Structure 1
């Protein structure tokens, strides 16, 4: 962003504090060592980082870019505290693969309890699965899909102009194509859910009203869609 004095920078931070508050309000952090005010402070750090990194020439609105950086910074903080790890994501991915296999075998839907019994999972393992499911809404797509611990987001990876040459450009094009293919393979309702949550910024309660289902059902669909995308993009991790 263009050079600004301390007063201008402070005014920009203050004017975007509501964005920080809205972002925190959509994230799940119960069961962690963090309180709401802690994450607001972390979000402000993300906002300041957005001010330093913003490039107007890319044509991305600052509010949109700042939202990405705020969410990414908070997610990284939660992850470093053990809220969500690659191991937990891998376990959840395996859980959904096993569920799909069992449903294909039985030719019907199965409940989580049925799958727990089938896999002979301990209560501790079951709690781990549910905790990971609860943590997904607070994580960035980058973290979920690519196991990327950095604060850079998927959106940034696709729109960044900081390329090293033709090979990097080809990789970005291939990644974009793989992501589009993976999204297209999802059911239309799952595609709409991801659009409403990650692009439109709707909360689960609002999405439930749009899809005419319960909030817990939105959470289930959200998790299923993310695990399907993660499986489709397995080669990119």
Structure 2
């Protein structure tokens, strides 16, 4: 009987904080093929886990404690069940080729245009437009998602200070151009157009460079966590 009461209490506490789930789902639903309702259910599971593991005697705010659980549950589901958040290797290779092409054309004293990019990549103009759309929409990522999110069971053993330390250590290891776009875009909140102007490249190339930097950074963070646990 007591377990039934505990479950009821847990569910009631979760319901009072359901707005947290809605807030996070609103951000994620635009970035994947899952329905709002499905993401909400998944996020709510994360909220329930947070309720079960929350220790008020530690003096932490429940909302701050719950957000990583909710977001982590959604992220892990998407990684395991959809391809919407995975960056295909072929795309990463194309992004690298675009950067090399840009450097070659700059060495010749001019900027590469859209038609030349498509031709050099060996794709049609339509495929190039599709690639640009992928870069600008499908791979959009926020600063919140840039921070490495450990699995929910890891949260009790990792402090936020340690997570922040790993993040900034990983940023410091990026190459100068990747580090610059991360700093300008996420730390200084500069627009893509401003960064593009500073780098003297197109906004599309800038977006591609930012996404490439994020991919490298996330890979570094994941590897860092794995090595520290081994």
Which TM-score applies when normalising by structure 1? 0.59
Shift of 1:181: 0.4
User: Which of 208, 212, 215 in structure 2 is aligned with 1:227?
Assistant: 212
Aligned residue in 2 for 1:161: 157
C-alpha change, 1:161 and 1:35, in structure 2 (3 Å) is closer
Task: Classify the secondary structure of the residue corresponding to 2:74.
Answer: helix
Pick aligned residue for 1:134 from 123, 137, 140: 137
Partner residue, 1:72: 72
Structure of larger gyration radius: 2
1:41 and 1:49 mapped to 2: Cα distance? 13
Q: 1:106: Cα distance to partner?
A: 0.9
Query: What is the aligned residue count?
Result: 200
Q: How many angstroms does 1:113 deviate by?
A: 5.5
Which position in structure 1 is the counterpart of 2:49? 49
| C-alpha displacement of 1:22 | 0.9
Deviation at 1:41, TM superposition (A): 1.0
Contact 2:29/2:36 (<8 A) preserved: no
Residues 87-125 of structure 1: CA deviation (Å, up to 9, x unaligned): x1x333222222221111111554666433211136668
Whole-angstrom CA distance in 2 between matches of 1:229 and 1:212: 15
Alignment root-mean-square deviation, CA? 4.6
The structure-2 alpha-carbon separation of the partners of 1:230 and 1:75, relative to structure 1 and needing over 3 Å to count, comes to: same
- The 3 A distance-change label for structure 1 pair 5 and 160 is closer
Distance 1:232 1:41 in 2: 30
User: 1:119 corresponds to which residue?
Assistant: 121
SS at match of 1:27: helix
Shift of the 218–104 alpha-carbon distance from structure 1 to 2, 3 Å rule, reads: closer
Residues 27 and 138, structure 1, Cα contact 8 Å, conserved in 2 = no
The separation in 1 between residues aligned to 2:175 and 2:60, in whole angstroms, is 24
Inter-partner Cα distance in structure 1 for 2:10 and 2:57: 20
Unaligned runs of at least 5 residues, structure 2:
195-201, 224-230
User: CA 1:9 to 1:184, structure 2 compared with 1: closer, same or farther past 3 Å?
Assistant: farther
The CA distance in 2 between the partners of 1:160 and 1:53, in whole Å, is: 9
CA spacing shift, 1:25–1:221, aligned 2, 3 Å: farther
Question: Offset at 1:44?
Answer: 0.4
Is the partner of 1:118 in helix, strand or coil?
Answer: helix
SS in 1 for 2:139: helix
Structure-to-structure mapping, 1:34-113, within 5 angstroms: 34-54=34-54, 61-79=61-79, 80-85=81-86, 88=88, 90-107=89-106, 110=112
Relative to structure 1, the CA distance from residue 221 to residue 125 in structure 2 (aligned partners, 3 Å threshold; closer, same or farther) is closer
What's 1:204 paired with?
A: none
Q: 1:176 to 1:134 in 2, by over 3 A?
A: closer
Matches of 2:58 and 2:174 in 1, distance apart?
24
